[in-house]
Structure 1
Amino acid sequence: MSALSRLFSSSVLREMAKKGRSGLFARLFSESGLAPSHPDQSVAECFEAAFGRLRRAGLRNEYIYRAALTHNVLLGSHSLATASMLTEFRTGASKADLVILNGTATVYEIKSDRDSLSRLEKQLADYQKVFAKIYVIAGEAHLRDVLEAAPPHVGVMRLARWDRITIIREASDRASNICPRAVFQSLRLSEAQSVLRDLGVIVPEAPNTLLHAVVGASFERLDPDDVHRSTVKTLKRSRGLASLGELVDRLPRSLQPAALSVQIRRKDHDRLVRAIETPLHAAMTWT
């Protein structure tokens, strides 16, 4: 299970994109227990086979949930030209599993059957300070407990099958309840400065050692709805995914969520695709 899951890690994709091969992929596939289905099987087909194994009930890990959200929400309801996706986005003491930005900012906390709910209360408290809408997407084993633990404004989703998401409870839009200071702490300094400029606030001048504190103080005087609207606009621009559209279309469906979560230089796109198209028997010699 560990080897299967790690096949979709950023380390494997970065190595393939940078070198055109991945010794880590070869080792993990060897440890995964998967056998080639035919002599000319490609690396792409190996990823599809590993994904098929992981998506079985009882084995589904965070990546399977993230893939379902990517395909159903980001690429299904929206597009890379109009929406963006953030993963592992720092929010207070928590890291948001997945955030989708379109006209609003929606965070999705994943609780697979293999996860614990011990931190859920703290995570939701952190998220409501930064995001307008919150959803918890859970497996069957956690669904009842999540419904009881999550406040009424938090939406709840169920992953019924590996790719089928059911909304059990809709999330409320609470942009007016976010905390501008908490939003500032989640942004890069350059992004925070862009938010101020977008809102017509003069970006304060200060020595580099004091600039972070001074910009943060400016956020505390802003209206929550204004901060939310401008932050969504700024993040869609600074962390947009439109440039990855062509690459995503050239990758197997199982790898698309991973590619959208890893920074891959445009000049490395062709190298990554060639690595994915490599026959498995050649890839197993990678070092």
Structure 2
Amino acid sequence: MSADINKFRDFSTLFTRSEMLRLLKNDFRSIDAKLARYDLVEEQRGSSYLKVLKEAYKLLQKNYQNEYIIKNEFLNQRLIQKIGNRNSVIFNEMRLGDATADLAIFNGISRVFEIKTILDKEYRLSRQLEVYKGVFNEIYVIVPQENIKKYMKYDDNVAIISYDADISEFNIEREATENIDIDINILMNILHSKEYVDITNKYYDEVPEINSFNQFEICKSLISKIPSKDLNSLFIEAMKNRKIHNSFFKKINNEFNQVCLSLNFKEKDRKELIEKLKNNKVN
């Protein structure tokens, strides 16, 4: 079994950012090396690299529920449909000071999703939730079905979503309680300089003269005085204005949605990736 785990872990690296960038350069050596390592070359000879990766994804989905698989399935089943009106923006690995959110979506409200696989330890979760509560309206933790009770002990305001690996299904076990309070210190760690200047200018009719040396402290002081409801709306608007492309495959080739999101691919980028994988074959 340990040999199988090593194989699954090895194949899971094919869906990383760095690997996809290599594939875009017609560099298929990593896939070739794995096929050779597990005596799969003859079995796959003549197959497109797209077919190889799709089969690898199915193998991982069935046997190795790592973060990529769960995040990708959650994207496909729950989040992508929410951007149909183009009024929502999805972030992958969103930096929040000393924490990083697995997924975040901004539309009328802000939601954050933290994924804990069967392979993860929970020791960092308390600090992560503390940061998330400082800026997000709703917090969701996605956990394996068998670990629901363990994660239910955390803050009752945090939603719990279970993931059944056998049937690749998500269920809400506990709803989120909406929060509009914002921690100014966490917020300022997230905002770019142009964003916090824009928020200040939008809310106040007049602002003190600022320069590159004093703008952070002046804007922070002024933003801290904005009522929570208004600040929440201004924060969501700022996040939706970031250049996030959110170009996804609907059904065909949706195995690659998570890594395309991670790389902030435009539509032409993801189409180019599929064409290269489809037109190159295992020798």
Scaled by the length of structure 1, the TM-score of the pair is 0.84
Matches within 5 A, 1:183-202: 183-200=187-204, 202=206
2:89 and 2:105 in contact (8 A); partners too: yes
Per-residue deviation, 1:32: 6.6
Per-residue deviation, 1:35: 5.9
Name 1:3's counterpart in structure 2.
10
CA distance in 1, matches of 2:45, 2:22: 25
Equivalent of 1:129 in 112, 130, 134: 134
Distance change (3 Å), C-alpha of 1:3 and 1:156: same
Name 2:274's counterpart in structure 1.
273
Matches within 5 A, 1:1-287: 1-17=8-24, 19-28=25-34, 30-31=36-37, 39-56=45-62, 59-79=64-84, 81-148=86-153, 150-161=154-165, 163-175=168-180, 177-200=181-204, 202=206, 205-242=209-246, 244-245=247-248, 248=249, 252-264=253-265, 268-281=269-282
Distance change (3 Å), C-alpha of 1:78 and 1:271: closer
Deviates more, 1:222-231 or 1:72-81: 72-81
Q: Which runs of 5+ in 1 are unaligned?
A: 283-287
Cα RMSD (Å)? 2.7
Distance change (3 Å), C-alpha of 1:203 and 1:235: farther
1:132 and 1:178 in contact (8 A); partners too: no
Calculate percent identity across the aligned residue pairs: 21
Q: Which runs of 5+ in 2 are unaligned?
A: 1-7
Per-residue deviation, 1:115: 0.2
Amino acid aligned to 1:276: L
Q: Deviations over 1:225-281 (max 9, x none)?
A: 212212212211214325x25xx3596111012101213366645532322213331
Deviates more, 1:19-28 or 1:82-91: 19-28
Name 2:5's counterpart in structure 1.
none
Q: Deviations over 1:170-224 (max 9, x none)?
A: 011112x222332121122222223334434656543323333332222212222
Q: What SS class does the counterpart of residue 19 from structure 2 fall into?
A: helix
Deviates more, 1:264-273 or 1:81-90: 264-273
Pick 1 or 2: higher relative contact order, CA cutoff 8 A, min separation 6.
1
Scaled by the length of structure 2, the TM-score of the pair is 0.85
1:127 and 1:134 in contact (8 A); partners too: yes
